[in-house]
A and B are shown apart, each in its own frame.
Chain A
Amino acid sequence: TTDGVGAASRGSPEATQDFDHLYNILFIGDSHVGKTSFLHRLHANTFNPHLIATVGLDYQVKNLIVDNKRFALRLWDSAGQERYRSITKQFFRKADGVVLMYDITSESSFSDVRYWLSCIQEGAEDGVTVLLLGNKTDCAAERRVPTEEGERLAKEHQLIFFECSAASGHNVSKSMVSLVRLLKVREDELKIKAREVSEPPQKKKGCC
């Protein structure tokens, strides 16, 4: 594949142990925007229009090779309904990255993005990497949220932004790869910071 991206082999049961980096990624957004379908596309590269509504949390692992590094992604699929938020909130803290999804054919799912951002701010680690996704680009005729609005919101909150389609596969892996690259950058930064803290820069120990 292009861009140095590929799926890691999953031959042996230990395959998932063979990774260079492991990230927890939480999927949030209103009910019925396509979180589970997106994950299904990522996992099986097909579209299943008959997926059942998620209850509580679901979980799967995806291995990706990006830039010759092996990444294991723990993907947490959360239920969008309000009542479940007290349950799903408990998992925000664990997330290295958050995928916040809305449906470009639903204005309310887009206006709820601000609500979800406040949940992230409240529950997740500071500076957590967020990917904003506008799903269902295949339903162009029913579009209610212009691309520019998504872009503007992403810019305002410094989020990565893509429009995608779980149904067609458009931008599905591409957006995940961008997220993974950013997570890697952030991890490296944190490592450097941690090193600086544990080994404070040596001051000149002059003798005179």
Chain B
Amino acid sequence: SIQHVYGAQHPPFDPLLHGSFTKPGSKPPTTPVKLKKVSTFQEFESNTSDAWDLGDDDDELLAIAAENLNTEVVMETAHKVIQNHSKLQEQHKFQEEHLKEEHVQEERLQEENRVESAELTSIVCSDNRLVKSVSEGHTSSPSDNASENSSMQRSQSLPQTSTPPLVSGTADYSTSVTPALTEREASRLDKFKQLLAGPNTNLEELRKLSWSGIPKRVRPIAWKLLSGYLPANVDRRESTLQRKRKEYFAFVEQYYDSRNDENHQDTYRQIHIDIPRMSPEVLRLQPKVTEIFERILFIWAIRHPASGYVQGMNDLVTPFFVVFICEYIEEEEMENFDVSTLPEEVLQNIEADSYWCMSKLLDGIQDNYTFAQPGIQKKVKMLEELVSRIDEQVHRHLDQHEVKYLQFAFRWMNNLLMREVPLRCTIRLWDTYQ
């Protein structure tokens, strides 16, 4: 049977969740559908890998889902979920407009900063999935102690044991098992290309299309547009790139030498010891890559003194860097690629683009990293609220065992789930954050 996961916007149809959606407050039904125990992320991933190359619009997805499940209930639930999410998104947009005025934002060029609202919604939705796996684990093993015991170990060994190369794999959109694009993929790529061609790219359209995944070939440009780094107008793009890249290297010129000054050395030291301690997925942490990451993070940190550098930000550079470098490398080469063989100018462009796109992302979530990390505390509270509403049993169980949400969900929010899922899934997920 097929298990459907529709990216961040559409949580999987889970009989348990469904049960509590239709009858709020009532106990989840003693499950009529057998739940498979999902013991590792890899298993979960392989069960749901079909989700990554699925289609175009909600109705089509719902139709496919309906074949396997009771049509009426599914449609009802799904529509409800989608409605709720769009409502939520509106709310956040509204709140954000107000917050924006208070925020110290250096980049006011963008017409709208959707990063936060999209990000919040995505967290809410993707947590549905995480909540689901927790509840499955619970039903299948009465005691959680064993999994508590190994959770830390598992989370740390995950990136190392995942064998598939970086961004590639069957899951990635544009690179299915067959080297040639399928008809469907080709038509999607065409749709993107048309949108991107201009003269003015409709960002709303682009965002909508991106929900179900951005083809790899157009991902760099799509991300740059959606993040607000590049203007919608085609004719202005090249000049913007030139200007912003120049601007970034002017920062480097101006600030980077101060990294060993007394007032900056702590920041630099922290970045310097964290980069080698990152997930080894990233191009084997070649010296060249380390240098680039250090510069990006240091410049960002001293230009944003309210938060400065916080551990976890280093992870957030990775998706941008990897996506942008993929413009220049065949992905088969990725795993053993020596970055220093790329022309210096290309590397500089990638560095500057990564810096600006990461800045755009962080601008929207800066309160995650300011003193006392209010953004994270707020999101963890939201998660708690959400779980208590959709899966009371899990909520009660955690409570009984005195497990605080902050204990396990802090990192999810702080690193945008990057420590919990493989990099290529993060990249796919970020198609929907932008």
Contacts and interface: CB of A to CB of B under 8 A. Distances in A.
Interface stretch (A83-91, A137-145, A148-156, A165-173): A83-91
Interface string A30-62: 011000000110011000001111111111110
Interface residues of B, number: 39
Nearest to B415: A55
B366 to A, nearest CB: 13
Contacts of B174: none
A58 B301 CA distance: 25
Contact of A57 (B312, B372, B407): B407
Interface string A49-77: 01111111111110000000000000001
A178 B353 CA distance: 53
B310 A81 contact: yes
A55 B149 contact: no
A56 B278 CA distance: 15
Interface in B256-286: 270, 273-274, 277-280
B156 A56 contact: no
Contacts of B155: 58
Determine chain A's interface SS by DSSP, over half rule. mixed
B32 to A, nearest CB: 26
Given A13-B146, A83-B373, A87-B410, A53 B274 contact: yes
Contacts of A91: 407
Interface string B398-421: 000000001110110011000100
A16 interface: yes
B300 to A, nearest CB: 14
A174 interface: no
Contacts of A10: 146, 149
A142 B408 CA distance: 36
Most buried by A among B160, B310, B311: B311
Contacts of B149: 10, 16, 60-61
Most A-side CB within 10 Å, residue of B145, B406, B414, B419: B145
Interface of B: 141-143, 145-146, 148-149, 151-153, 155-156, 159-160, 270, 273-274, 277-280, 307-308, 310-312, 369, 371-373, 376, 406-408, 410-411, 414-415, 419
15 contacts: A13-B143, A16-B143, A16-B146, A17-B143, A31-B270, A52-B419, A53-B273, A55-B311, A55-B419, A57-B410, A59-B407, A79-B311, A83-B310, A86-B371, A91-B407
Given A53-B277, A59-B407, A87-B406, 19 more contacts: A14-B145, A31-B270, A31-B273, A31-B274, A39-B152, A50-B280, A51-B277, A52-B159, A52-B279, A53-B274, A54-B311, A56-B410, A56-B411, A59-B152, A77-B152, A83-B371, A83-B373, A86-B372, A91-B407
